Amino acid sequence: QNLNDYKLWLKYNKIENHDLSQAYSKTTNAVYIANIGDIIKNAKRELSLALPQMLGTQVTYESSITSETTLIIDVFNNLPEDLKLAVKKNIENINKEGFIIQSISRNNTPLTIITSKEEIGLLYGTFRFLREMQMHENISAKTIVDSPKIQLRMLNHWDNLDRSVERGYAGFSLWNWQKLPEYIDQRYIDYARANASIGINATVLTNVNANALVLTPMYLEKVEALANVFRSYGIQVYLTARFSAPIEIGNLETADPLDKNVQEWWSNKAAEIYKRIPDFGGFLVKANSEGQPGPQNYGRNHVDGANMMATALKPFGGNVIWRAFVYSEHDDTDRAKQAYDEFLPYDGSFKDNVIVQVKNGPIDFQPREPFHPMFGAYKKTPLAIEFQITQEYLGFSTHLVFLPKLFEEILDIDTYQKGTGSTIAKIIDGSLYGNKLTTMAGVTNIGTDLNWTGHPFAQANWYGFGRLAWDPNLNSGQIADEWIRTTYTNDKAFVEPIKKMMLTSREAVVNYMNPLGLHHIFDTGHHYGPGPWVDDLGRPDWNPVYYHNADKNGIGFDRTTSGSNALEQYAPFLEKAYSNTNTIPEEYLLWFHHLPWDYKLNNGEILWDGIALKYQEGVDQVDDMIKTWEAAKPFLNEEQFNEVHMLLQIQLKEAKWWRDACLLYFQTFSNLPLPKGVEKPA
């Protein structure tokens, strides 16, 4: 791995263009930055790191605003009256984390102002200012007025206390529990910088399959040390709370949420945490899911459990984020239906500091899923969307897959639950139902690898998640553009083809793993390679054969009225459209329908041929990605080039593996020859 990749998108490369460099030097010639708190100190640190690297000059800071000042960074309330007047209109259009970057002429001197309502906006504004410079934009020619559209922009670490990371493919956990609290690794600071630069403002440090130990004083002291670092970057710490903690670390005999002693235990625990961490965010809970303990162990329900914790956190302003990722081996209902069935009756019964967190799709982070039907159906209790940034089902950190494309696809979907235009973005940002708490969570792909994410391009998924959590209406092409230009170069001859490569990479992985709505045909446990033949696991709902149902008559999961009728969980308009093979988008075909091998696709191909050709298309797309990368070689140093080139070779080999394994297996049912154009397995 390349040492330079450690810097992520905060490389602050030298600006070679003389005129541009001159212009930026003028803008940053005399900087007044208010001294109002720890957060702004970090904005100042960032400027002091970035400007000399980009411009080759040291920054001169002024202790007060003078007629020489060229850049002012301060909150609106502190600005001199004439400047207040200049930015007044824009200040009305931002929220408390938003910012304005505006250039004016003051006494015939050009002046740039970065301002906000609160201190945190100045940090976000500074990072944005620096990004504009990294992207060689003409800052003084435009006014930027920007605010986050979602309140909690949150990473979920699936990090265990032994530093292993569940579904982590980039080394070990960043949190060095053994050396904490005294030893503050520079990584914690750089992690916070990277997150703040894209607006992430909350992090859950521990795995949802939690160990209760993190709630003991020995660990809380370490959590406090991390919270102290993150606070000055505007990042709030959350912890996972194992439901049975009162038994495991509290010496109680039960964890029954209606038991007085249990309730008291959690209230005391909350008080203990807030004493150390006054801005602690709250708990993320996985309960009665995949064998984790929960209220149902005591004959209670999700509402009892979540509300008990919510009551404990409420006096301190904390939240409970309660996951809806539930499905049971004792229930033979289609797994895709279970969370909705179980949770729908509880809509509106949760306390106002409870957020229900739902994965983007109804199964589990597949390369493509239709949206989870709880989105739009839940109208009163706020929902958080949970995306997976780590690539559990998308080739780990070996395959290049640009996930913002997937995130965007989901966010843009219309659920039709409150008429046309009921998009998931509007549900998540609260605008559709007026929810007060809004959250986007991403299961992080970060670890101790030198480049943080294993694959250098996986950095773009961290970046893109943050950008979309800030504004779920952003376009994935713009996100790719920003990432490439801040990470590599602004040269169009590099940016354009690489952007194209990134934007097709998600469809490529769908094609070579799970085309036309196929899903969950991964090999058991690790979820890396193909395993469509697996049929012997203890739980039927973990077996791939449960999902593809291939037999001599056809393939696919019938979720219409003749099957599991999962479609009844969607709005009538979609239920109708998806029930009909003529109107369902073909990318969801086999998710909802079991169809004969000779079923005719829209383009006239029979289903078997269509599947085979999709697998081939995926392989060809990876081939093209390699060609694109090879053509980009002049812009890369040898290490940079080789690293991605080697990874792409593996991706190609494995795309073929997927194609061959799946087609050979499915062919035992279809009994049809491979169509022309599909490479014969070696």
DSSP state of 77: G
Smallest distance from ligand GCW to CB 604, Å: 37
392 labelled catalytic: yes
Applying CB under 6 A, among 392, 414, 558, 660 the residue interacting with ligand GCW is 392
Considering the candidates 159, 392, 414, 449, report the single residue annotated as catalytic.
392
- Backbone phi, then psi, for 554, in 5-degree steps? 160, -160
Smallest distance from ligand GCW to CB 396, Å: 13
Interface with ligand GCW includes 158 (CB under 6 A)?
yes
Interface with ligand GCW includes 364 (CB under 6 A)?
yes
Considering the candidates 5, 256, 342, 364, report the single residue annotated as catalytic.
364
Site for ligand GCW in 167-196 (CB under 6 A): 167
Confirm if 78 and 37 have CB atoms less than 8 A apart. no
Q: Which is nearer to ligand GCW, 166 or 347 (CB)?
A: 166
| Residue 261 vs residues 303, 602, 672: alpha-carbon distances, Å | 18, 62, 65
The secondary structure of 466-493 as a DSSP string is HHHHH-TT--HHHHHHHHHHHHT---HH
- Backbone phi, then psi, for 167, in 5-degree steps? 60, 30
118 labelled catalytic: no
Confirm if 404 and 360 have CB atoms less than 8 A apart. no
Interface with ligand GCW includes 334 (CB under 6 A)?
no
Widest CA span in the chain: 82
C-alpha span between 591 and 670 (Å, rounded): 18
Smallest distance from ligand GCW to CB 285, Å: 11
For 173, the 3-state DSSP assignment is: coil
Q: Which is nearer to ligand GCW, 44 or 157 (CB)?
A: 157
Q: Is 602 exposed, middle or buried (0-12, 13-18, 19+ CB in 10 A)?
A: exposed
Q: Which is nearer to ligand GCW, 441 or 545 (CB)?
A: 441
**Hey, how many other C-beta atoms are within 10 angstroms of the C-beta on 248?**
17
Q: Which is nearer to ligand GCW, 171 or 250 (CB)?
A: 171
Applying CB under 6 A, among 208, 303, 310, 678 the residue interacting with ligand GCW is 208
Smallest distance from ligand GCW to CB 391, Å: 11
Q: Which is nearer to ligand GCW, 213 or 503 (CB)?
A: 213
Site for ligand GCW in 114-143 (CB under 6 A): none
Site for ligand GCW in 244-303 (CB under 6 A): 286, 290
Tokens encoding 640: 């940079």
409 labelled catalytic: no
Q: Which residues contact 403 (CB under 8 A, 6 or more apart)?
A: 387, 389, 391, 394, 461, 464, 465, 506
Interface with ligand GCW includes 660 (CB under 6 A)?
no
> What mask, x for binding ligand GCW by CB under 6 A, covers residues 61 to 100?
----------------------------------------
Smallest distance from ligand GCW to CB 269, Å: 22
> Looking at the DSSP assignment, which residues form a beta bridge with residue 366?
none
Considering the candidates 290, 535, 551, 639, report the single residue annotated as catalytic.
290
Interface with ligand GCW includes 591 (CB under 6 A)?
no
Applying CB under 6 A, among 62, 132, 137, 166 the residue interacting with ligand GCW is 166
Q: Which residues contact 16 (CB under 8 A, 6 or more apart)?
A: none
Applying CB under 6 A, among 365, 371, 465, 547 the residue interacting with ligand GCW is 365
Alpha helices in 177-291 (DSSP H): 186-198, 217-231, 245-248, 260-276
The secondary structure of 410-444 as a DSSP string is HHH-B--BTBTT-BHHHHHTSTTT--S--EEEEE-
Smallest distance from ligand GCW to CB 289, Å: 6
Catalytic residues: 290, 364, 392
Site of interaction with ligand GCW (CB under 6 A): 158, 166-167, 208-209, 286, 290, 325, 364-365, 392
